[in-house]
Amino acid sequence: MDPRIRRVREADIKAVVELVHALAEYERMSDECTMTPAQLHAALFAPEPALFGHVAEVDGEIVGFTLWFLNFSTFHGAHGIYLEDLFVRPNHRGTGLGRALLTALAEECVTKGYSRLEWSVLDWNTPSIGFYESLGASPRDGWTVYRLTGDALTAAGKDA
């Protein structure tokens, strides 16, 4: 693994939350980003965590991160990694950190026998799309992501 890439530590929480908010600003979704350091800490460092992460560190500063969780392919009968977020500060882009973060996740997959590494990207984010395709990633044509949140999620949960 690239020496600048490592798993998130408890001391990194504040920096990662700041980067999550920077990602939300980049994605034009700042009004939707409400995560706090306490929430991230609880998710990453619970007795049996369901969220995992890596950071990119340069000269002692956290400048990039990934947050990810396991999914499962019923077709392959194996887990995979779903990359929830990847972000590198703009002044550190083009230095290989994004590639190194994705490489760390691919290594997790290979080492643990996971069958896939997947993520979503906004349609307008052509710099990221170009980067992902340069690594050999391909879009899943014919699939549309659906999501229940807020009032719709509450209403659907009341039917249970």
Q: What are phi and psi of 139, to 5 degrees?
A: -70, 155
CB count, 10 Å around CB of 96?
14
From the candidates 26, 82, 114, 132, give the one annotated as an active-site residue.
132
Q: Which two tokens stand for residue 56?
A: 């990119």
146 is catalytic: no
Residues 6+ apart with CB under 8 A from 18: none
Residue 107 DSSP code = H
CA distance 84 to 101: 13
Cβ burial 111-143 (10 Å sphere, 16+ → b, else e): eeebeebebebeeeeeebeebbeeeeeeeeeee
Hey, which residues are catalytic here? 132
